[in-house]
Amino acid sequence: MAKAAEIIERYQALLPVRQQVQSNELLAAAKQGRIHPQHLQRLVIGEFLTQQAEIPRYGSLLDRFRHEVPAGYFAYVATVFISQRRLLADAVAPAVGLDADELRHADPPQAVTQLNQAVSWVAAHAGPAEAAMELHTDFQLFCPVAAELVGALRDLDNVPEPVVAYLRNYAEEPAEMRQRLPEVVEHGLAQGEPERWVTRSADEIPDLLSDYWHYIATG
């Protein structure tokens, strides 16, 4: 799996992790103690509605890639998102004054729509290596922001604990995802997936996340 590990390491070194953290407007507001109920509600709305597309994509990926290597990876990631979705519905949404059943029928804001369209394209068209790298990149850029938010939000009196708990679960990419990624990329390459396509969808993640966080911070 040397080739896959090389691709992953080279790409990961180029990810704008520091920029995602330093430019995050919600994090800046949290560090200054300027978090309002609307911020927390938009966070829940954004997370809940992106998961409307995020979770079903694993059904598509599992149906398309039934070999044990990619299937095991995508099945595991599905459990991560389903667990977070349950936490949102049962605890986080009520804590910020939102009804999960109403959210299921809400119209997504533009930043969420953009993310969902990208997710849906990956589910239908990406190879296993490309899909896995897109997921890895998402976690690599989202998790450092979530970890910083946990530190900034947990001491604020107006931030319910379920919100902090939800973000804490995203404070680091799960070790199992990192460990399984190289064999999924190697599997994709062995099945004829072009190397230039492995990072194709991942390239879109920084801008998509920047727009997403901007929506949560400013509406």
Q: Which tokens hold the place of 114?
A: 């953009």
pLDDT of res. 124 = 98
Quick one: what percent of the chain has pLDDT higher than 70? 100
Rounded to whole angstroms, the Cα distance separating 93 from 99 reads 6
Q: Please report, for the domain that includes residue 91, its CATH number.
A: 1.20.910.10
Does any domain span residue 203?
yes
Residue 88: which pLDDT band, with cuts at 50, 70 and 90?
very high
Asked whether the predicted pLDDT for residue 204 surpasses 80, the reply is: yes
Per-residue model confidence as pLDDT tens digits over 94-139: 999 999 999 999 999 999 999 999 999 999 999 999 999 999 999 9
The whole model's pTM is what? Answer: 0.97
Mean pLDDT of the chain: 97
Parent domain of 69: 18-218
pLDDT category, 2, cuts 50, 70, 90? confident
pLDDT score at 108: 96
Whether residue 89 is contained in a domain is answered as yes
Asked, for residue 180, whether it belongs to a domain, the answer is yes
Give me the mean pLDDT over the 150-177 stretch: 97
- Residue 170 and residue 141: Cα distance in Å, rounded? 11
What is the total count of domains within the chain?
Answer: 1
pLDDT tens per residue, range 20-46: 999 999 999 999 999 999 999 999 999
